């Protein structure tokens, strides 16, 4: 079975949440091999994050559950890669459109 290899999420979480704790919990989800969290926006009450998750057959519902259990919300799914390997897109192709 070919499963989810990478997902890039735009997420809002309460500013009281530790990004280290969030990364640790996401790293424990079935199929997750690596987690990268980048803070893109800070507010008194909310942190805007870009979360990149890579692995083999990632349990997306598990990822979503961790985020929601900590009071976060997925604003958008910005990239999804499924297959036997991770296929990178040429950034130049995005600029031409």
Predicted confidence (pLDDT) per residue in 20-70, tens digit:
999 999 999 999 999 999 999 999 999 999 999 999 999 999 999 999 999
Return all residues near 86 (Cβ < 8 A) that are at least 6 apart: 5, 6, 54
Max CA pair span of the chain: 44
Domain count, the chain: 1
pTM (2 d.p.): 0.89
Q: What is the pLDDT of residue 18?
A: 96
Q: What is the pLDDT of residue 90?
A: 74
Residues spanned by the domain of 81:
4-96
pLDDT surpassing 80 at residue 95: no
CATH code of residue 32: 3.30.70.1340
Q: What is the pLDDT of residue 85?
A: 80
pLDDT surpassing 70 at residue 97: no
């Amino acid at each position: 079975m070919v499963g989810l290899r990478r997902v890039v999420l735009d997420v809002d979480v309460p500013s009281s949440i530790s990004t280290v704790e969030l990364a640790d919990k996401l790293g424990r989800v079935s199929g997750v091999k690596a987690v990268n969290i980048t803070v893109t926006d800070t507010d008194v009450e909310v942190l805007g994050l870009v979360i990149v998750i890579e692995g083999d057959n990632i349990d997306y519902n598990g990822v979503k559950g961790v985020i929601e259990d900590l009071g976060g919300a997925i604003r958008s799914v910005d990239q999804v890669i499924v297959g036997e390997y991770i296929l990178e897109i040429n950034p130049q192709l995005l600029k031409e459109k």
